Amino acid sequence: MSRGFGLQQGAEAVLYTAPFLFQCEPTFQASTPSDADAAHAQPIIIKRRFPRAYRHRTLDKKLTRGRLASEARNLLKARKLGVKVPAVLRVDVDALCIYLERIPGDTLKEKLARQTKNDKEQVETTLKALGAACATLHQGNIVHGDLTPSNVMVTTTQESAPSVALIDFGLAQTSTLAEDKAVDLYVLERAINSTANDGDEAEPFGHVLAGYESRASKGLWNAVRTKLDEVRARGRKRTMVG
């Protein structure tokens, strides 16, 4: 079987892309898959968490396995709630790997960076869909933990409206607190407003909130909106103080 191709390396894990399931390898070494393999394969992502040398080996393995299991559980729960996320194909706790469906499309960050005035309607639809997805996630008491445009995949077709998928649940957790859900949105707000390339609209995040409100229960919306205002105020204060 061919190995995967190194895709990206983050602070806690290495991502590979591969045409089919295979034994996870701890390096970026790769070989080109044959045409026959590629013709019958579905693209997948393998996320391998690497050990932390500064931690005790036994403790590190326990913590890393716990995070791996938590990520898989939250992905499965989000999918059950109806949020579009990568399907979990396999979890290998010994190799510290999680095998995931690869979502086609571009990241929201890429979409926002290159948008033009002609894309305005499509971008608004995408942001509202993202807000609705966040509300569904929060309604199920899942907090993503790293909601940024880089962790949102957008798939567009000529036949249908843009489809939004959330990826990278490595920092996700279960929480019933409106504060945690508000922080999720605040992180997303700052990232979107700093990424968007639209001179006619200062706050594209307003469309996210519109989508969130349309999907959330009245109780969730009121609680999260109140906390979001508080989180924003604290953020502005920290910015002023430095």
Residues catalogued as catalytic: 146
Q: Parallel, antiparallel, or unpaired: how do β-strands 152-155 and 142-143 relate?
A: unpaired
DSSP 8-state class, residue 31: -
How far CA 12 is from CA of 38, 68, 96, 175, 218, in Å, comes to: 29, 11, 11, 22, 37
- Count CB-CB contacts under 10 A for residue 108: 27
State how far the Cα of 120 lies from the Cα of 138, in Å rounded to an integer.
27
* Angle at which helices 178-195 and 205-215 cross, to 10°: 150
Around 131, how many Cα atoms within 13 Å sit in the side-chain half-sphere? 25
